Amino acid sequence: MKRKLTRKIKEGAIETILFLSALSSVFITISIVVVLSYESFGFFKEVPLIEFLTGREWTPLFAEPKFGILPLISGTLLITSIALIVALPLGLTAAVYLSEYAPHRLKEIIKPILELLAAVPTVVYGYFALLFLTPILQKFIPDLSGFNALSPGIIMGIMIIPYVSSVSEDAMRAVPMHIREGSYAMGATKLQTAFKVVIPSAFSGIAAAFIIGISRAIGETMVVAIAAGGMPNLTANPLEPVQTLTAYIVAVSLGDVPHGTIEYKTIFAAGMTLFLMTLVFNIIGFWLRKRIREAY
């Protein structure tokens, strides 16, 4: 009887601890949202939402501040697009090679190396873009300014290749062999089988991989803070300096903005915008991942 009781208490205690640790992540997420909302609410009391969303200039630290978020959004989208133009095709072809072509042993070597790309500290990538890639690009594009969107965009693309390739490859490997055999039995080549049957079969997983890559690119800070120039600039020209939402937040946080001022609150307004952008992509990604499980 006594042993049964102690066992019950022990089990109960463990369950409570496990529950609390699970709860903590939920609690932290909710706190972040609450703080973000509270502080940006303070911001929007002073700056009308319409000005924030439609203003074409972002100069909160000037004597005559302007609070239009568009230049930061355009900077974020510009660099993200460049990164995706690099990462999606390279990541997908790498995944096709790893899943359909690479002999087992070679794959065991290539995959960890590829994943190492994600382990390099982003600050290293930042200086790599600024001090290595930009000077090289300037030799081909004389108009390229020292700080620009192009170089950090490309580097960021390389950085997120493993996120794209790893999840895509998992999705392609999950395609059952008898689907591939069906294609081979029709006289298809390896390439035809990979592109006409395996990729469409793994579509939702590959789409989820793309979404993860996009979220990662939007949220990336260090590379752009170092190499993009830190100048809010409403432009689609990758040769000019730009600033992203994340880079702005870093720049202002590092300065000596007094607590409670409107300048201080811009951090949270920008953070809220960023949060909503990544949230949308994560929800899409979550929905796609759920669909992939239903496929087989």
Partner 1 sequence: MVKELKAEVKKLNFYYGRVQALKEINLPIERRKVSALIGPSGCGKTTFLRCFNRMHDLYPHNRYEGEIILHPDNVNIISPQMDPIEVRMQISMVFQKPNPFPKSIYENVAYGLRVRGVSKREVLDEKVEKSLRGAVLWDEVKDRLNHLAFDLSGGQQQRLCIARALATNPRILLFDEPTSALDPTATLKIEELIVELKNEVTIIIVTHNMQQAARVSDYTAFMYLGEIVEYDKTDRIFTAPSNKLTEEYITGRFG
Q: Residues interacting with partner 1, by CB under 8 A?
A: 176, 178-189, 192, 196-197, 200-201, 203
**Is 68 in contact with 55 (CB distance < 8 Å)?**
yes
Between 195 and 264, CB nearer to partner 1: 195
Furthest-apart CA atoms within the chain: distance in Å: 84
For residue 58, what are the β-bridge partners? 67
Between 149 and 202, CB nearer to partner 1: 202
Total count of residues recorded for the chain: 296
Between 50 and 177, CB nearer to partner 1: 177
Nearest to 168 by CA among 285, 82, 287: 285
* Nearest approach, Cβ of residue 291 and partner 1 (Å): 12
DSSP letter at 259 equals T
* Nearest approach, Cβ of residue 166 and partner 1 (Å): 22
Burial per residue of 211-245, b for 16 or more beta-carbon CB atoms within 10 angstroms, e otherwise:
bbbbbbbbbbbbbbbbbbbbbbbbeeebbbbbbbb
**Is 58 in contact with 69 (CB distance < 8 Å)?**
yes
Structure tokens at 87: 């990462």
Between 3 and 178, CB nearer to partner 1: 178
C-beta atoms surrounding 153 within 10 Å: 27
* Nearest approach, Cβ of residue 98 and partner 1 (Å): 17
| CA distance readout (Å), 9 to 17, 47, 219, 228 | 12, 55, 44, 58
* Nearest approach, Cβ of residue 186 and partner 1 (Å): 4
* Nearest approach, Cβ of residue 196 and partner 1 (Å): 7
* Nearest approach, Cβ of residue 214 and partner 1 (Å): 23
3-state secondary structure of 146: coil
Nearest to 278 by CA among 199, 221, 211: 211
Between 109 and 186, CB nearer to partner 1: 186
Type of residue at 283: I
* Nearest approach, Cβ of residue 284 and partner 1 (Å): 20
* Nearest approach, Cβ of residue 175 and partner 1 (Å): 9
Between 114 and 194, CB nearer to partner 1: 194
Between 148 and 201, CB nearer to partner 1: 201
Structure tokens at 168: 């895509």
Structure tokens at 254: 């590092």
Between 198 and 214, CB nearer to partner 1: 198
